[in-house]
Amino acid sequence: MSAGPYEDAATAYGRGDYATAFKIIQPLAAQGNADAQTNFGWMYAIGDGVPQDYAKARQWYEKAAAQGNAEAQNNLGVLYEKGEGVPQDYVKARQWYEKAAAQGDAEAQNNLGVLYDAGLGVPQDYVKARRWYEKAAAQGDADAQYNLGWLYDAGTGIPKDNVRALMWLTLAALSGDAEAVRSRGVVARGMTSEQIAEAQRLSQECQARQFKGC
């Protein structure tokens, strides 16, 4: 949120004062502010300060998405993928993810990769999954880094490479995600000390490059 009303709303939201955040965001959303509409939808989706209501979340996301807001487009995709407030529809999820991913939204890029990885709403295609994961991972998205790690470990859509698998899982584990930390340990158990050292070196180099060109 930028300075001004958004900053005030963010401060209120951060301290758990959802009523104040709601009061600030509501008029901005009603005036057509796409960011406010997205945040308003999020509050309904999570149930922060209001009763959880996926239908209302969808309505506000749709208003923002129609204005090209990538976050709202991704969030709409999530609703359709999970069937929250709408009938579950992987094709519509993909369509919304594609709109957000085309704008560079890392979460949408990862989500699109997941659909291709699992063959949900699209023919299963590990190569396309990898490409979308790579785009998101290059932006530091820990979920995409985790997913890339397992693609390398399994050798799906990419040559099997335990060193790069461990590299990506190590980077994902930096987020503090317990599953990424556990998975890193699982992969490392089947590797030599030299391979582990190489993966650590690569992860450090990648981190220094801010995940670009890894």
Q: Which domain holds residue 210?
A: 130-214
The pLDDT, as a whole number, for residue 3 is: 55
Residues 118/100, Cβ–Cβ less than 8 Å:
no
Q: Is residue 198 part of a domain?
A: yes
**Is the per-residue pLDDT at 156 higher than 90?**
yes
Q: Is residue 213 part of a domain?
A: yes
pTM over the 0.95 mark: no
The pLDDT, as a whole number, for residue 1 is: 40
Residue type, 36: A
Average pLDDT, the chain: 93
Q: Is residue 60 part of a domain?
A: no
Neighbours of 88 (CB within 10 A): 13
172 or 24, which is more confident? 172
Instruction: Please state the rounded mean pLDDT for residues 57-80.
Output: 98
Q: Is residue 29 part of a domain?
A: no
Residue 180: partners with Cβ closer than 8 Å, 6 or more residues away: 142, 145, 146, 169, 172, 173
Q: Is residue 163 part of a domain?
A: yes
**Is the per-residue pLDDT at 25 higher than 90?**
no
Residues 121/114, Cβ–Cβ less than 8 Å:
no
pLDDT tens track for 43-64: 999 998 899 999 999 999 999 9
Confidence of residue 77 (pLDDT cuts 50, 70, 90): very high
CA distances from 92 to 56, 128, 137, 163, 167 (A): 18, 18, 24, 36, 34
The position carrying tokens 């060193």 is 163
Q: Is residue 81 part of a domain?
A: no
The percent of residues in the chain predicted with pLDDT above 70, rounded, is 99
The position carrying tokens 């208003």 is 63
Instruction: Please state the rounded mean pLDDT for residues 10-39.
Output: 88
CA distance 206 to 150: 18
Instruction: Please state the rounded mean pLDDT for residues 144-166.
Output: 95
Instruction: Please state the rounded mean pLDDT for residues 28-56.
Output: 93
**Is the per-residue pLDDT at 193 higher than 50?**
yes
Q: How many CA atoms lie within 13 A of 79 on its CB side?
A: 26
Q: Is residue 21 part of a domain?
A: no
Q: Quick one: which H or E segment has residue 141?
A: none
Q: What's the structural domain count of the chain?
A: 1
Q: Is residue 1 part of a domain?
A: no
